[in-house]
Amino acid sequence: MPTNPSRSAITVTGLRKSFGDHVVLNGLDLNVARGTVFSLLGANGAGKTTTVKILSTLVSADAGDIRVAGHDVTREPDAVRAAIGVTGQFSAVDNLLTGTENLLLMANLNHLDRRAGRRRAAELLEQFDLTEAAKKPASTYSGGMRRRLDLAMTLVGNPQVIFLDEPTTGLDPRSRRGMWEVVRGLVASGVTIFLTTQYLEEADELADRIAVLDHGRVVAEGTAEELKRRIPGGHVRLRFVDSRGVDEALRVLDQPSRDNDALVLRVPSDGSMRALKTLIDRLDDRAIEVDELSVHTPDLDDVFLALTGNPAHEKVTA
Amino acid sequence: MSTPTTHSLRTFPLRDSATMLRRNLKRLLRYPSMTVLLIGMPVVFLLLFVYVFGGTLGAGLGGATPAGTTGGRAAYVNYVAPAIILMTVTAVVQGTAVTIAMDMTEGIIARFRTMHIARVSVLTGHVLGSLIQAVFSLAIVIGVALLVGFRPAAGLGDWLAVAGFLLAVSFALIWLSVALGQVSNSVETASNMPMPLTLLPFISSGFVPTESMPAALRWFADYQPFTPIIETLRGLLMDQPVGNSAWIALAWCAAVALGGYLWSKRLFNRESAR
């Protein structure tokens, strides 16, 4: 992996962290290029939130070299804080203040002058579709609105690097998609996003690169496509017209396996044109009639379960 | 994308504290039931001690009766008022501890910690807010005391001294409860933590003269900080000589304020456990 510091928003080498006897992070290495979305994927307890807390200066590392936005988190925490924004999984809004007041609070803490602060607050309320609720206390907001307000507050200071720790956990599907749109918009404006999620679909939708975290280590890293290619699971699903076709096919095809459906067979395949042609030719030669053919590539679920090993213990939602 | 700026690494503790103060005042206004409850407690104690116990306790004051009053209930109002005034402060700081604990359990403090702001402003905002709440509560409680027959003999200078002294006491106890609020893991614990502060006035010269207590208790009452604080208040309000009490009380305030500040700061800078 090329590591050019000037192009990296985040570099982490050999990060370790334990709480008492419990090792949470066991030698983590990460490199996030500027202007990209990087997703840290893992089950509950894999160490995602701890990683975010360390990168955002909330918690110190036991060991490791960590640079965020060009600054060392241990030696220059203030410079890091000035460059980042954090939206955690538990929303950090002031429930007794209204949406506008929450944003103005951030504007004041970012030392914007009064007029610039009001303008920025109004812009963000508009952008996050909160204008109508602007004068209501945050305690009356729905989960999705609260998360949007939370992110809007993070953006008041124009951070270069944004940490989103499970930004859609607990949101309904519509709010989740809304949040994804917002994230895409942010990336388009040039910021770097460090996203943790337990939803594979979310990482697949948003991330340029994905690291799979398991028991405090990165067990795989790459684009969604690269990760999918790394593991077996691609197959062609064939449905035959009758059981005679199934019997015939079982004799002529490579490693076919039965499906729940009596008329269906699965044949391992990488889904390429050449492989498909070979398969179809072979069936044609024997005049086996196929009712339906579909190509299945592995999804991130397959990847995740294959990489993290013990699917029985850690249920992953997708 | 904004370009990295170097000048932005300056912090603005005064400006940030003012921002945090505004936040806390807004919260106090949005959540008035808390202030009402806090003021209610000393008022209830005042009425209880004046109308229920006052007649008997006043008759037993004996030599401790402030000059210019005749015994009984009327004398007791004047005797107990300084203790009730001090209880107002302890009630307010109990509120401070609860507010701080509420803040700590919410995510917003974590947000503040990841922002480049003057960190101490999170705490100073609370301290200033509580101080304003204390002034407001004290004015109301003293007003009620005057209505039920409290007749202080203080002149203007004495009143100014009382105001300054109460500010010092409030400031010290507020810093202490900022620490207590942080040390609690939940809002429930936070509301119990300052309980000793609410009980200590009872084991002082606040409600009955310490001479009437058993020897061991009397020793404790004479040397615990609330006795010199109450004696100073009583002296100033009733225009009596204060003696050493004022200095002892101010020394206690300075020690508690400094201790509370250092403890609070340390607690705030510690890392979250997880």
Chain B contact for A158, CB < 8 A?
A: yes
Residue to substitute from A36, A94, A95, A187, interface B, most B β-carbons within 10 A? A94
Residue B41 resides in a domain: yes
Number of compact structural domains in chain B? 1
Least confident of A43-52, A266-275, B169-178: A266-275
DSSP state of B50: I
Residue pLDDT, tens place only, A156-166:
989 999 999 98
Stretch A240-249: mean pLDDT, rounded? 87
| Res A209: pLDDT | 94
CA-nearest residue to B22 within chain A is A105
Least confident of A235-239, A257-261, B13-17, B248-252: A257-261
The nearest CA of chain B is from the CA of A189 a distance in Å of 7
Q: In the structure, what pLDDT confidence band is assigned to residue B162 with cuts at 50, 70 and 90?
A: very high
The count of C-alpha atoms lying within 13 angstroms of the C-alpha of B36, restricted to the half-sphere facing its C-beta, is 5
| Res A314: pLDDT | 40
Q: In the structure, what pLDDT confidence band is assigned to residue A315 with cuts at 50, 70 and 90?
A: very low
Residues of chain A above pLDDT 90, percent: 42
Average per-residue pLDDT in chain B? 88
Cα–Cα distance list, A49 to A54, A116, A198 (Å):
9, 33, 11
Q: Is the pLDDT of residue A77 over 80?
A: yes
| Res A115: pLDDT | 94
Q: Which residues contact B190 (CB under 8 A, 6 or more apart)?
A: B97, B98, B100, B101, B102, B180, B181, B184
Q: Report the C-alpha gap between A118 and A207 in whole angstroms.
A: 33
Q: Which residues contact B186 (CB under 8 A, 6 or more apart)?
A: B101, B105
Stretch A171-178: mean pLDDT, rounded? 85
Q: In the structure, what pLDDT confidence band is assigned to residue B70 with cuts at 50, 70 and 90?
A: low
Q: Is the pLDDT of residue A311 over 70?
A: no
Q: In the structure, what pLDDT confidence band is assigned to residue B66 with cuts at 50, 70 and 90?
A: low
- What is the three-state SS of chain A? CCCCHHHEEEEEEEEEEEECCEEEEEEEEEEEECCCEEEEECCCCCCHHHHHHHHCCCCCCCEEEEEECCEECCCCHHHHHHHEEEECCCCCCCCCCEHHHHHHHHHHHCCCCHHHHHHHHHHHHHHCCCHHHCCCEHHHCCHHHHHHHHHHHHHCCCCCEEEEECCCCCCCHHHHHHHHHHHHHHHHCCCEEEEEECCHHHHHHHCCEEEEEECCEEEEEECHHHHHHHCCCCEEEEEECCHHHHHHHHHHCCCCEECCCCCEEEEECCCCHHHHHHHHHHHHHCCCCEEEEEEECCCHHHHHHHHHCCCCCCCCCC
| Res A317: pLDDT | 41
Residue B9 resides in a domain: no
Q: In the structure, what pLDDT confidence band is assigned to residue A313 with cuts at 50, 70 and 90?
A: very low
Residue B68 resides in a domain: yes
Stretch A16-29: mean pLDDT, rounded? 91
Residues of B whose CB is below 8 A from A95: 106
Q: Is the pLDDT of residue A312 over 70?
A: no
Residues of B whose CB is below 8 A from A86: 110-111, 114
Q: In the structure, what pLDDT confidence band is assigned to residue B249 with cuts at 50, 70 and 90?
A: very high
Residue to substitute from B15, B20, B111, B126, interface A, most A β-carbons within 10 A? B111
Residues of A whose CB is below 8 A from B99: none
Chain B contact for A94, CB < 8 A?
A: yes
* Selection from B233, B223, B204 nearest residue B81 by Cα: B233
| Res B64: pLDDT | 52
Q: In the structure, what pLDDT confidence band is assigned to residue B4 with cuts at 50, 70 and 90?
A: very low
| Res B8: pLDDT | 58
Q: Is the pLDDT of residue B262 over 50?
A: yes
| Res A233: pLDDT | 67
Stretch A18-30: mean pLDDT, rounded? 91
Q: In the structure, what pLDDT confidence band is assigned to residue B14 with cuts at 50, 70 and 90?
A: very high
| Res A214: pLDDT | 87
Residue pLDDT, tens place only, B177-233:
999 999 987 888 888 888 888 889 999 988 988 888 999 999 999 999 999 999 999
Contact B8 A82 (CB under 8 A): yes
Residues of A whose CB is below 8 A from B108: 92-94
* Selection from B52, B9, B82 nearest residue B230 by Cα: B82
Most confidently predicted of A251-260, A298-307, B5-14, B66-75: A251-260
| Res A206: pLDDT | 92
Residue B194 resides in a domain: yes
* Selection from A140, A142, A155, A139 nearest residue A103 by Cα: A155
Q: Report the C-alpha gap between A147 and A154 in whole angstroms.
A: 11
Q: In the structure, what pLDDT confidence band is assigned to residue A176 with cuts at 50, 70 and 90?
A: confident
Residues of B whose CB is below 8 A from A83: 4
Average per-residue pLDDT in chain A? 86
Contact B15 A111 (CB under 8 A): yes
Higher pLDDT, A255 or B253: B253
Q: Which residues contact B215 (CB under 8 A, 6 or more apart)?
A: none
Q: Which residues of chain B have a Cβ shorter than 8 Å from any chain A Cβ?
A: 1-2, 4-5, 8-9, 11-12, 15-16, 19, 22-23, 26-27, 30-31, 106-108, 110-117, 271-274
Q: Report the C-alpha gap between B43 and A293 in whole angstroms.
A: 82
Q: Is the pLDDT of residue A107 over 80?
A: yes
Most confidently predicted of A177-181, A254-258, B81-85: B81-85
Q: What ipTM is given for this predicted complex?
A: 0.83
Residue B218 resides in a domain: yes
SS3 (DSSP) at A312 = coil
Stretch B109-129: mean pLDDT, rounded? 92
Residue to substitute from B25, B104, B108, interface A, most A β-carbons within 10 A? B108
Q: Is the pLDDT of residue B3 over 70?
A: no
Contact B1 A60 (CB under 8 A): no
Contact B8 A60 (CB under 8 A): no
Residue holding tokens 């310490």?
B210
Least confident of A51-65, A259-273, B233-247: A259-273
- What is the three-state SS of A199-222? CHHHHHHHCCEEEEEECCEEEEEE
> In which domain, by residue range, is B185 found?
16-273
Stretch A259-267: mean pLDDT, rounded? 84
- Dmax (CA) of chain B: 77
| Res B145: pLDDT | 95
| Res B274: pLDDT | 39
Residue B6 resides in a domain: no
The nearest CA of chain B is from the CA of A91 a distance in Å of 6
Residue B170 resides in a domain: yes
Contact A95 B113 (CB under 8 A): no
Q: In the structure, what pLDDT confidence band is assigned to residue A1 with cuts at 50, 70 and 90?
A: very low
| Res A316: pLDDT | 41
Contact A95 B106 (CB under 8 A): yes
Pick from B5, B108, B274: CB nearest A93: B108
Residue B10 resides in a domain: no
